[in-house]
């Protein structure tokens, strides 16, 4: 079976499209447009404590109310070291110490979700994020976002850039590109954002041991060669490091996912796989937990033992919108402990299947895309192996073309497509020596008498469609008949041969006397019968029968039936009846036949 790859379906973003509040903001309207322009929020620490300080404020409104527990994302540009520290969640303070240039509380961000003027959730980066209602996340391109998830309906996002009044005379700013949320994400297959966290981690582990997550965005960039590194470094204490990947939708219990990992074969032999855990969440609720060592097949284990990538499937049987890969330390192991994390893939629908990858159709049936045979339903057909636009199901098939089918399940299109090659057969149109055929009415011509060359001829009453004639149907004068042929492929010709039919009939002979009398003494014969018309022939019956020879003697009391034949060569279908009397006067008598 030939399959071709396809790209995933994109998610639908709804952007905030109105500025409802702005203070100390440059180009505020830029934050309502989805492009690379941005609004700049400005803040100032003041000239003295409590004197002259200000913050930058921007409130953006969405075109509709957003349901509770829906995450909105605000793309920002801020101090990158600060954002990198925040990306580590509760590790933020430790990461800031490692970086050395970040001091929480000097320059920070406040964010609120509001329902009109009512605040339903407020968070700040004064301290690192500590729960799922507010996180700093990154996308596959390394852009940073404020992710806020209120447990109530809302329609506005408020962002504030603040410089501490301890920083006298200091100006700061941040950029806001746009705010959005996702809707109608039946097929939000690819994870869109990521962050990481840990527990039991100390400053020494981060600075000396090498613990942390390197290049977290590589786990969601759809590049099969890129990976993030989840590392605990070299340590002798119990600790955990984990990376989260976030999806734009909640998947149904029937949806499965896989995780692709690689690690040092030495760590495999030491039992590290027992300490790699995969978890799934729905919102803030943990709904699924599995150690990868419990689901590894022999083939997958062999891959990992050989230092190769292994894609490990999971069946959570619960709804989920986040997957976490967690590494817990092996104690008393004097080797750096890490795993390479290539990403999470939600199991996409399989490509459709067919009983025949080379399918043949008859041109006469006008086959369409919807006639291609597959074993599944809800198929989208394309004329290219990847990308392209779905074909209209009613589009006609093209002989020699290849068609590529993708299956849609729960709104999600299979990434692989089935290739079907199409052939269209057409028997040649029948031929004839005469497209205008003439018959004699007297012969009672039938459809089977039409002259045509071709296999398995069928005659119809219309040039397309229509009703087939029976071979025994009588021909009609002035009627057109349409012939098809069917060869060994079983395909009837799509173009029909038209034959126009004319029926000729010579006029019935006439006579001045339909009761004709003759004298026996004259020896009257058939030739003596009186009838007017060309080429008269007399018969012994009104139809059929046997023609008389002109020299045949007439018989008293018989009826004779005459036909005429004109220049068309057609004998008249109606016969003239003549009744014949042959009289004979009695022989004279005498008393004496010997007279003298």
Say which CATH number the domain at 295 has.
2.60.120.260
For the chain, how many helices (H) and strands (E)?
5, 36
pLDDT band at 369 (very low <50, low <70, confident <90, very high): very high
Q: Which of 155, 184, 213 is the last residue of a domain?
A: 184
- What is the number of domains present in the chain? 5
What pLDDT score does 188 carry?
Answer: 56
Distances, alpha carbon 418 to alpha carbons 167, 392, 397, in Å: 64, 17, 16
CA distance 140 to 220: 5
- Percent of the chain scoring above 70 in pLDDT: 91
Residue 105 has pLDDT above 60, yes or no: yes
Mean pLDDT score, 542-565: 95
- Cβ-contact 257, 346 below 8 angstroms: yes
pLDDT surpassing 70 at residue 403: yes
DSSP class per residue in 59-85: EEEEEEEEPTT--EEEEEE--HHHHHH
Question: Is 6 within a domain?
Answer: no
Evaluate if residue 525 carries a pLDDT over 80: yes
> Does the pLDDT of residue 457 top 50, yes or no?
yes
Token pair, residue 299, equals 């083939």
Residue 134 sits in the same domain as residue 70: yes
9 pLDDT higher than 80: no
Angle at 139 between CA 134 and CA 142, to 5 degrees: 110
Distance CA 266, CA 334 (A): 11
Question: In this predicted structure, what is the pLDDT of residue 485?
Answer: 97
- Please indicate, yes or no, whether residues 174 and 199 belong to a single structural domain of this protein: no
pLDDT value at 186 more than 60: no
Pick 123 or 86 by higher pLDDT: 123
- pLDDT at position 37 is 95
192-242 per-position pLDDT tens digit: 899 988 887 655 555 555 677 899 999 999 899 999 999 887 765 778 889
> How far apart are alpha carbons 263 and 229 in whole angstroms?
10
Candidate from 190-194, 272-276, 363-367, 428-432 with smallest mean pLDDT: 190-194
Q: Which of 309, 328, 347 is the last residue of a domain?
A: 347
Let me know whether 179 and 202 are in one domain.
Answer: no
Whole-angstrom distance, CA of residue 350 vs CA of residue 3: 10
The reply to whether 257 falls in a domain is: yes
Strands (E), 487-530: 497-504, 515-519
For residues 448 and 384, membership in a common domain is answered with no
pLDDT at 1 over 60: no
Angle at 74 between CA 66 and CA 201, to 5 degrees: 110
Are residues 142 and 243 both part of a single domain? Answer: no
Of 174 and 334, the one with more pLDDT: 174
In this prediction, residue 8 carries a pLDDT of: 45
pLDDT of residue 596: 64
For residues 248-258, average pLDDT: 76
Has residue 269 got a pLDDT over 60?
A: yes
pLDDT of the residue at 17: 96
Could you tell me if residue 278 is inside a domain? yes
142 with 261, same domain: the answer is no
More confident residue, 16 or 3: 16
Q: How far is CA 134 from CA 13, 124, 201, in A?
A: 19, 9, 21
- Residue 31 and residue 164 in one domain: yes
Model pLDDT, residue 7:
45
Q: Domain limits at 177? A: 11-184
Residue 406 lies in a domain: yes
Contact status, residue 588 vs residue 522, Cβ threshold 8 Å: no
595 belongs to a structural domain: no
Residues 30 and 74 in one domain: yes
Residues 21 and 94 in one domain: yes
Report the distance separating Cα 73 and Cα 192, nearest Å.
Answer: 11
Decide if 382 is inside a domain: yes
| Confidence band, pLDDT 50/70/90 cuts, at residue 253 | low
Q: Residues 173, 293: one domain?
A: no
Q: What is the pTM of this model?
A: 0.64
Those residues whose C-beta lies under 8 Å from the C-beta of residue 246, and which sit 6 or more positions away, are 71, 137, 147, 191, 192, 193, 194, 321, 322
Residue 499 has pLDDT above 50, yes or no: yes
455 & 527 share domain: no
**With 70 as the cut, is the pLDDT of residue 300 above it?**
yes
What was the pLDDT predicted at 100? 47
Question: What's the whole-number average pLDDT of the chain?
Answer: 89
Q: Among the three residues 504, 528, 547, which one is the final residue of a domain in this structure? A: 504
Q: What local confidence, expressed as pLDDT, does residue 202 receive? A: 57
Q: Model confidence over 71-80: pLDDT tens digits?
A: 999 999 998 8
Same domain membership, residue 362 and residue 333: no
**In whole angstroms, what is the distance from residue 568 CA to residue 136 CA?**
100
On whether residue 510 sits in a domain, the answer given is: no
- Among residues of the chain, what percentage have pLDDT more than 90? 70
Residue 40's pLDDT is 97
Terminal-residue alpha carbon distance, the chain: 127
Average of per-residue pLDDT across 110-122: 97
DSSP code at position 208: I
Higher-pLDDT residue of 268 and 166 is 268
pLDDT value at 127 more than 70 = yes
Sign of CA dihedral 473, 477, 479, 485: positive
Which whole-number Å values give the CA distances from 235 to 92, 336, 339, 473, in the listed order?
A: 20, 8, 15, 98
- Has residue 588 been placed in a domain? no
Q: For 381-410, b where at least 16 C-beta lie within 10 A, e where not — what string?
A: bbeebeeeeebeeeeebeeeebbbbbbbbe
For 98, the enclosing helix (H) or strand (E) is helix 92-99
């Amino acid at each position: 079976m030939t399959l071709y790859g396809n790209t995933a379906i994109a998610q639908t973003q709804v952007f905030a499209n109105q500025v409802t509040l702005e203070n100390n903001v440059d180009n505020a309207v830029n934050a309502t447009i989805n492009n690379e322009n941005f609004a700049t929020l400005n803040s100032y620490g003041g000239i003295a404590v409590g004197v002259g300080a200000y913050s930058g404020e921007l409130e953006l409104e969405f075109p509709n109310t957003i349901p509770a527990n829906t995450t909105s994302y605000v793309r920002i540009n801020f101090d990158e070291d600060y954002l990198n520290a925040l990306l580590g969640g509760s590790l933020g303070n430790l990461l800031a110490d490692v970086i050395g240039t970040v001091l929480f509380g000097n320059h920070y961000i406040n964010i609120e979700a509001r329902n009109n003027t009512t605040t339903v959730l407020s968070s700040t980066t004064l301290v690192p994020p500590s729960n799922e209602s507010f996180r700093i996340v990154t996308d596959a391109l390394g852009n940073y976002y404020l992710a806020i998830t209120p447990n109530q309906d809302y329609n506005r996002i408020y962002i504030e850039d603040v410089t501490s009044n301890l920083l006298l005379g200091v100006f700061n700013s941040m950029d806001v590109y746009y705010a959005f949320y996702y809707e109608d994400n039946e097929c939000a297959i690819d994870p869109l954002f990521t962050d990481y966290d840990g527990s039991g981690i100390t400053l020494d582990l981060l600075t000396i041991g090498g613990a942390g997550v390197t290049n977290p965005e590589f786990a969601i960039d759809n590049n099969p060669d890129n990976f993030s590194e989840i590392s605990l470094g070299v340590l002798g204490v119990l600790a955990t490091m984990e990376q989260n990947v976030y999806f734009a939708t909640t998947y149904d219990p029937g949806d499965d996912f896989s995780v692709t990992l690689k690690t040092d074969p030495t760590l495999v032999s030491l039992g590290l796989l027992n300490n790699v855990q995969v978890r799934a969440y729905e919102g803030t609720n943990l709904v699924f937990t599995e150690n990868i060592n419990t689901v590894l097949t022999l083939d997958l284990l062999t891959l990992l033992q050989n230092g190769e990538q292994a894609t490990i499937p999971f069946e959570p049987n619960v709804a989920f919108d986040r997957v976490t890969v967690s590494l817990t330390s092996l104690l008393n192991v004097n080797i750096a402990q890490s795993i390479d994390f290539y990403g999470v893939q939600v199991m996409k629908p399989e490509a459709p299947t067919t009983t025949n990858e080379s399918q043949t159709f008859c041109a006469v049936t006008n086959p369409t895309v919807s006639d291609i045979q597959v074993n599944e339903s809800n198929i989208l057909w394309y004329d290219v192996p990847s990308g392209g636009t779905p074909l209209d199901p009613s589009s006609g098939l093209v002989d020699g073309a290849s068609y590529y089918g993708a299956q849609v399940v729960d709104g999600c299109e299979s990434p692989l497509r089935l290739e079907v090659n199409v052939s269209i057969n057409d028997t040649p149109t029948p031929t004839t020596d005469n497209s205008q055929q003439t018959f004699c009415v007297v012969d009672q011509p039938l459809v089977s008498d039409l002259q045509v060359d071709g296999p398995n001829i069928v005659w119809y009453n219309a040039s397309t469609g229509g009703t087939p004639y029976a071979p025994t149907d009588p021909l009609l004068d002035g009627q057109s008949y349409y012939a098809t042929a069917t060869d060994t492929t079983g395909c009837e010709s799509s173009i029909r041969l038209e034959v126009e039919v004319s029926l000729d009939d010579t006029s019935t002979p006439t006579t001045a006397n339909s009761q004709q009398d003759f004298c026996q003494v004259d020896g009257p014969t058939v030739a003596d019968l009186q009838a007017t018309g060309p080429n008269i022939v007399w018969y012994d019956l009104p139809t059929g029968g046997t023609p008389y020879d002109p020299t045949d003697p007439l018989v008293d009391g018989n009826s004779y039936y005459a036909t005429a034949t004109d220049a068309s060569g057609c004998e008249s279908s109606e016969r003239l009846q003549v009744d014949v009397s042959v009289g004979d006067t009695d022989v004279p008598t005498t008393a004496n036949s010997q007279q003298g």
